[in-house]
Amino acid sequence: MSYDLTVYCPGSPTVDEVRLLVGNTRGLHVDPDSARDTGVVVLRGMKRGYSFTVDGPFSVEPVDLPEEVVAVLPAAATMFQVLVEGTQEAEIPYGVRFARKLAKACHGVVMDEQTTDIWPQPRTVKAPPRTEPKPERRDVWISWLILEEDLPADFLQGYLRIAREVLPESVPVRFGKYEPLQFRFDSSGEEGFIDEFYNDDSNGWDIYYKNPPPVTYGKIEAPQLSAGNPFTRITLVVDGHALADSPLRSALRRFFLAVATELGAVYASAEVERHQDMGRVPIFNMRPPQWVGFQPYPLWWVWAGPRLAPDIGRFLGPSAKEHNGGLFRAFSDEPLDRDALTDVLGPENLPWIPAEYSATYTDHQMAPLAVASVIPEILRNREPLDLPPGIYNPPRKA
């Protein structure tokens, strides 16, 4: 574990300025063997033992600022993370002192991530709390699973093209591999987005992106062929309140089917988030990640691609529609969560798929107790590829 502090600055200090500040602090030294562009390892004392690490600088957008920081430093543009790692509890005071020194030098503030306390304490009286309640979040999670052997070589270009043509709100705005997201699509473009996806020495490719509502979050994860996991997974989160608008709902449905058919998804689904057990997903990290079974509750939308429809098509019912060789079932017009869908469908139509096709869970259990007893052949893990240690996938992009 580590003790974490975050320093927010209104300007853009550099890592060289951090090194200089460390060198000017009595008893602290920059580790010369760990020089890097995005951080400093700090040693302390005559023996120069490890004390803490400063990671950064990272650009930060106003939308990513915690409320506690916005209240005292709404103009924060850069952040550093001061981490006292491992079991070095005696070093925590030194990390705290340096974080405060860095904040003072950049006219910023420190947030203690363990307590959310801010230093220095604001001198102004906090505004009274909002009297009107915030509307309850109602996110719709959409996911597509694509087998490696079906994945088009230019699938990222295809995904972005479909987004531009069908659902412009889903075109990435900010993207990257870690928070805070470091790139903007309007300046980096499609090429920058694709380069960042493949920017990983181990070929363990992935990318995340954030947008303003109605499409708020996206994620694209490559398979782990070294572990026998053959699925590329695309995830999109949409503000469910916005889907009361029928034209947007229609556009999202066209986008869902276009991605499913043009990128060759074997399975896709859409569901309204319910926080109690959103972790019950078909792909679970059971060492290795693998298909564990279909969700054991009704979903808003289900797509079975041409290679899966012969196995589960009969369970989608007569209201399922054929689409480019696959089957699509909308369990309701407007997005409903599983409780509402259960009431609408009635016990005679549930479960939507036989229990043996779903993993076994207990109440409030995220991880399955057991995988499904029936897994269609097309969804089973493959034989792991024999790749060098630390390499997940063979090169896909030069």
Q: Can you list the positions of beta strands (E) in 88-228?
A: 109-112, 117-119, 139-147, 174-176, 183-184, 206-210, 215-221
pTM above 0.75, yes or no: yes
- According to the model, what pLDDT value does residue 130 have? 58
- Do 137 and 157 touch, CB atoms closer than 8 A? no
Cα–Cα separations (whole angstroms), residue 374 to 159, 297, 336, 379: 32, 17, 28, 10
- According to the model, what pLDDT value does residue 263 have? 97
CA atoms of 100 and 106, how far apart (whole Å): 10
Burial tier of 108 (Cβ tally within 10 Å: 0-12, 13-18, 19+): buried
Q: Which strand ranges, in their side-by-side order, compose the sheet holding 78-85?
A: 28-30, 39-44, 49-59, 78-85, 2-9, 109-112, 117-119
Q: Where are the domains of the chain?
A: 2-119, 139-379
Residue written as tokens 């991605």? 259
Reduce the DSSP state of residue 62 to 3 states and report it. Answer: helix
- According to the model, what pLDDT value does residue 125 have? 47
Residues 6+ apart with CB under 8 A from 355: 296
CA atoms of 88 and 302, how far apart (whole Å): 50
Cis geometry, peptide bond prior to residue 214 (ω within 30 degrees of 0): yes
- According to the model, what pLDDT value does residue 175 have? 93
- Do 247 and 232 touch, CB atoms closer than 8 A? no
> Residue 197 carries which side chain, given as an amino acid letter?
F
User: In the chain, which stretches have pLDDT less than 70?
Assistant: 1, 35, 87, 123-134, 275-279, 364, 398
- According to the model, what pLDDT value does residue 99 have? 95
- Report helix, strand and coil shares of the chain as percent, to nearest 5: 30, 25, 45
* Per-residue pLDDT tens over the stretch 180-195: 888 999 999 999 999 9
CATH number of 2-119: 3.30.310
DSSP 211-263: -STTEEEEEEE--BGGGTB-EEEEEEEEEGGGGGSHHHHHHHHHHHHHHHHHT
Residue 128: which H helix or E strand, with range? none
- According to the model, what pLDDT value does residue 276 have? 55
